Amino acid sequence: MKIRLYESLIEVIIALGVGIPLILGGVLDTWRTILTIAIVMLVLLYIITHRIKKTYSDRFLWVYILGTICIVTFELMKGKKLYAYSNYETFYAGRQYLWIFFAIPLYYEIIKDKNFDRYLKKTVGIIIASLSLRTITWLCKNYLGITIFNSLLYEYGISWGRGGKLRIDATALIGVLIPALYYLYKKYKKKRYVVALMFVAAYLVFVSQTRSLILGTIACVISMFFLEKRSSSKKLIVQLLLLAIFVIAVNMGFADTILNKMNITISDSSIGYRQYEFAYYSSLLFNGKWKTGLGILTSMNANGKILMFGNLDTQMYLDDLGIFECFLQFGLFSLFLYGVLLIYMIYVVIKCNRVKEYKYSLYLLGEFFYIVIVSIPLNSFGIQRIFMVPIVLAFTCAVHNNILKIEKEKAI
């Protein structure tokens, strides 16, 4: 049996990205550093062995990656200058942005194999395996009083709970999983994908209990359901309008009412606290600092920690503010990080529609809606979520590559 070296290495890195190695013990932060080193080594090996070949759709891949790295480098140098980061602190502040390079080997292996679905299925399988381990760990602790996989259980500390029960995060790739499962079910009509979707829904409601992920899942599934048969341009416009209505509903508190009825508690103190955090962080952007942001902040540095956590009598978390966290650190550069990727996804969707590849557009729109909704309260470029970005980038570029090939064949 032929061993696919790069495919196996990609699977290992995805497993690292969804926290499976935590069952071996160790600290989450250590595994994140290992993930960073593994990605850098894989990319270097990939370049050295000349695996990169010019393709139809890799221009955007390289422009986006290089643009992101230039922005990150600029903001890191600003942080180093303003907050006196050491070399180690600079690495620590910027390491998660190196994960964007993972899109390179993933994309090229997908198009070399000429099998988009096979890599999507492999990714789905790894994420489901991680969620299964997390569910078992959660059940054992909360209902049997047995602690297994200690590092997985306390991934974010002993206080990460709700309603008297410990919670476990749904991993950074939950936003990849949901549209992928819907896409695979619609294409192959196998019940196991529906069962998997039901399992994911139950996980989000009971194990993770993260409101924004539940809302993102609802938006994702509804959008894919409406566009199930055909994603015409008119329907796309309707979808975008529905998205705008959904975002307004979220901001007006309608979604919170629904979640309260699902017994997913939302306290007034929690909402008020986030408003307090927003007011504090907004006050830091005076004298034009909003243009390029404050630079990348890290709690490893004393000066950065003071800015991140504010007055020490009240613990504040920058992660609580979603996309604003990205704007605070990157300023207008955040429009490139978010906007360019999302616009590219819609561009590929339109090209899919033109050649009547509606299942591809269905998948990408599900991904698009999830990112937009979830990024309001959770920053997709924060360390907890950013591993999703290279995955989404690689799969979107792979879809584009397939569409361009179809267009070329039809033109002959």
**pLDDT at 234 (0 to 100):** 58
Q: What is the mean pLDDT of residues 290-317?
A: 76
* Comparison of pLDDT for 183 and 53, the residue scoring more: 183
d(CA 214, CA 374): 9
Task: Place 255 in a pLDDT band, splitting at 50, 70 and 90.
Answer: very low
For 275-334, give the secondary structure using H, E and C: HHHHHHHHHHHCCCCCCCCCCCCCCCCHHHHHHHHCCCCCCCCHHHHCHHHHHHHHHHHH
Q: What is the mean pLDDT of residues 100-105?
A: 95
Share the mean pLDDT of the chain. 84
pLDDT at 376 over 70: yes
Task: Place 103 in a pLDDT band, splitting at 50, 70 and 90.
Answer: very high
Give 201-233 pLDDT, tens digit per residue: 999 989 988 888 888 888 788 778 777 655 455
**pLDDT at 240 (0 to 100):** 57
pLDDT at 117 over 70: yes
pLDDT at 138 over 80: yes
Task: Place 235 in a pLDDT band, splitting at 50, 70 and 90.
Answer: low
**pLDDT at 230 (0 to 100):** 54
Residue 92: exposed, middle, or buried by beta-carbon count in 10 A (0-12, 13-18, 19+)? Answer: buried
**pLDDT at 271 (0 to 100):** 57
d(CA 259, CA 366): 21
Task: Place 263 in a pLDDT band, splitting at 50, 70 and 90.
Answer: very low
**pLDDT at 272 (0 to 100):** 58
Least confident of 60-74, 295-309, 392-406: 295-309
**pLDDT at 305 (0 to 100):** 78
Give 168-179 pLDDT, tens digit per residue: 999 999 999 999
**pLDDT at 56 (0 to 100):** 58
Task: Place 398 in a pLDDT band, splitting at 50, 70 and 90.
Answer: very high
**pLDDT at 282 (0 to 100):** 81
**pLDDT at 1 (0 to 100):** 40
Top mean pLDDT of 126-130, 152-156, 319-323 is at 126-130
Q: Which two tokens stand for residue 108?
A: 């090229």
Q: For residues 216 and 200, is the Cβ–Cβ distance under 8 A?
A: no
Give the residue from 30, 16, 27 showing the smallest Cα distance to 154: 27
Q: Which two tokens stand for residue 213?
A: 């992920």
**pLDDT at 266 (0 to 100):** 47
* Comparison of pLDDT for 70 and 256, the residue scoring more: 70
**pLDDT over 70, % of the chain:** 84
Record the pTM. 0.88
Give 309-328 pLDDT, tens digit per residue: 766 555 566 766 788 889 98
Q: Where are the beta strands (DSSP E) in 111-255?
A: 161-162, 165-166
* Comparison of pLDDT for 412 and 61, the residue scoring more: 61
